[in-house]
Chains A and B, each alone.
Chain A
Amino acid sequence: MDSIIELTGVDKIYTVGSVDTQVLFDINLSFEKGSCTSIIGTSGSGKSTLMHIMGTLDMPTAGSVVIAGQKVNDLDANALAVLRNQTIGFVFQFHYLLPEFSAMENVLIPSMIKNWKVDRQTLDKAEKLFDIMGLSPVKNYLITKMSGGQQQRTAIARALINNPKILLADEPTGNLDSDNSDRICNIFRNINQEFGTTFIVVTHDTRVAEHTDRVINIKDGRIESDIRT
């Protein structure tokens, strides 16, 4: 199978003042198109940093990152922005929705970044996503008027609006109760199967990892194990 993300010899060192802290050591990973992977590890193991690098939100100190055939190390800020907008969808532990906008507007923003004018097809897609997320009745609510579970599902709908090839989720159920967590996991699994989206979730919740086909365990910035189920 073709790989959609390839990390080769990735190191990450943070420098604070004169102190260097290395959080990732020589990471070599490849993710196939349409795969469903979880990255697990304890707090501070470097799993979130790895996800930020895969999402082009952060750059590796050494090594190369290739996403959808593009070597991100060589791209400028604008090209990275386009890559993020059109290839990658993010879901974070905190929903990071814009409180000034309604759920529908939040979901449409990535599409408006791509193309200011929202066409009928995109609107239909948004409606469908709200339907899948069970949010149709609250789609015009302001974010602040929604529950935590609704906010997180809105964030997932937003991540999917531009039909990204990759969906990166960082502790997406970290703030949710077990019912909502299961619901989110099922949504992810369905999306992966229905749209063929490559799905990578960073979590320390083993129940979330159980829903994926591959589990990568990171410990102290190194790959401890890489198991395909």
Chain B
Amino acid sequence: MLSFMIALRFLTSNKLQTAFIILGIAVAISVQIFVGLLIESLQISLVNSTMGNAPHITITSSRDDITIRRWEQIVAQLDRYNVVEAISASASGNAYAEKGSAIKPVLIRGFDFDSADQIYNISEGLYSGRIANTRNEILMGKDLAQDLELKPGDWVTITAPDGGSTTLKVTGFFDLGISSINKTWVISNRDVAQKMFGYGSRVTTIDITTNNLFHADVIANLFKIILDNNDIKIENWKQLNQSLLRGLEGQRISSAMIQIVIIVSVAIAIASILAITVLQKSRQIGILKAMGIKNRDVALIFLYQGFLVGIAGALVGVGLAFGLLQSFISFTTSDSGVPVVDVYIDYFLVVRSWVIAVLAATIAGLVPARNSLKLNPVDVIREG
């Protein structure tokens, strides 16, 4: 405790120097936290924009007729697991949509609307018209609707590859934020799609979202084992987005590198400054040793100094980091009020950075602590 008291008094007796040390640590830690949070937010934004309205795991048929048999059984079986957040079976197929003289290739997605909505957020993406309620009603992607010059309430003719045609009413248009979907998707009732493509009561796809996006591969493998069915293929988003994953990994490594470099520089800076304070306080240390203080307690004085400036510097650094983030958000927010990057605050990252900074500062105190052990009181006394 005496060591702690002396450490505190040494720091408070030279306020300007202590303030500079704390500020130095604070600036470094704020940059570390700011960069860490920004890169993490960019990753989350990227994943959300890629995966936000998409299933994490998709089950399709490996049979020639592309349909899944006994799909109700599969859905019931998987729905029992807590990792499954939403599950939706759909009957899909390629067709043509015709309105007047305009004809466009489309992908008919025959959904059970409520369960599909939990995965694709269709009702949230519906920007015009209303949800399709009856068998003869459909929804269309934004770009497709523009290409066909449709408005809510119009009727379009859908022609299946076998030549069979059905005329359906378009009740609304959606924008799911992904161009390929907006350009080709027509969302219909599952029964209508099954009938249109001659699937009987079968479906072509089972879409699943899980409670852990980044463990989708593990969960998919688990499902393969559970279902043990050679007639189906189970794919997860990671298999289909290898380049995105590589990009995320690259970002993660560069973020870690930046953070390591910052922490090492902080530790070196603290070690050098505290090493100078050993010289500044050599007279005091010498006389304390002459009075009988033990080497261990002298070393503790410098470890405590590192610890104290670490705590204070890291605390101020966290405050500065939030200030930087706030400035970043206000500078990068567009006129319409939408920020360029949605900033997510990962409190674990903040606390982790704080703890690492305090640890680094304390460890940095080892260098001056070691130097203080070499100090001989008689040298100080002889020099006068």
Q: Give chain A's interface residues, CB within 8 Å of chain B.
A: 48, 52, 55, 57-58, 77-78, 81-86, 90, 92-94, 96-101, 109-110, 112-114, 116, 158, 170
Contact = CB atoms under 8 A, between A and B. Distances in A.
B292 A82 contact: yes
B378 A109 contact: no
Nearest to A112: B2
Given A77-B295, A85-B292, A116-B1, 5 more contacts: A82-B294, A84-B292, A92-B381, A109-B288, A112-B5
B384 A84 contact: no
Interface string B1-44: 11001100110110000000000000000000000000000000
Interface residues of B, number: 27
B375 interface: no
B291 interface: yes
B264 interface: no
B351 interface: no
Nearest to B11: A100
Interface of B: 1-2, 5-6, 9-10, 12-13, 283-284, 286-297, 377-378, 381-382, 384
Given A92-B381, A93-B384, A100 B9 contact: yes
Contacts of B287: 96-98
Contacts of A94: 384
Given A81-B294, A101-B9, A110-B292, A52 B378 contact: yes
The 10 closest A-B pairs by CB, nearest first: A85-B292, A100-B13, A84-B292, A96-B287, A57-B378, A100-B9, A116-B1, A81-B292, A112-B2, A58-B378
Q: Which of A81, A93, A109, A110 is most buried by chain B, counting CB atoms within 10 A of its CB? A: A81
Contacts of B297: 113
Contacts of A78: 294-296
A96 B288 CA distance: 9
Given A96-B283, A113-B2, A116-B1, A52 B381 contact: yes
A99 B289 CA distance: 16
Nearest to A87: B292
A92 B291 CA distance: 12
6 contacts: A77-B294, A81-B294, A84-B291, A92-B381, A96-B287, A109-B2
A92 B284 CA distance: 14
A81 B381 contact: no
Contacts of A170: 381
Contacts of A84: 290-292
B295 A90 contact: no
A98 B284 contact: yes
Given A98-B284, A112-B2, A116-B1, A90 B291 contact: yes
Contacts of A98: 284, 287-288
B290 A100 contact: no
B379 to A, nearest CB: 10
Contacts of A96: 283, 286-287, 290, 381
A113 B292 contact: yes
A113 B291 contact: yes
B2 A116 contact: yes
Q: Which of A55, A58, A83, A96 is most buried by chain B, counting CB atoms within 10 A of its CB? A: A96
Contacts of A58: 378
A57 B381 contact: yes
A57 B376 CA distance: 8
A58 B293 CA distance: 16
Contacts of A99: 13, 284
Contacts of A92: 381
Nearest to A80: B292
Nearest to B377: A57
Contacts of A110: 291-292
A97 B286 CA distance: 11
Given A94-B384, A98-B284, A100-B13, A85 B291 contact: yes
B384 to A, nearest CB: 6
Contacts of A109: 2, 288, 291
Nearest to B291: A110
A81 B298 CA distance: 12
A101 B290 CA distance: 17
Nearest to A96: B287
Nearest to A142: B13
A100 B2 contact: no
A93 B382 CA distance: 10
Nearest to B284: A98
A142 B289 CA distance: 21
B3 to A, nearest CB: 10
A98 B12 CA distance: 14
A24 to B, nearest CB: 14
A25 to B, nearest CB: 20
Contacts of B6: 100
Contacts of A112: 2, 5
A96 B292 CA distance: 14
Given A116-B1, A116-B2, A100 B292 contact: no
Nearest to A85: B292
Contacts of A100: 6, 9-10, 12-13, 284
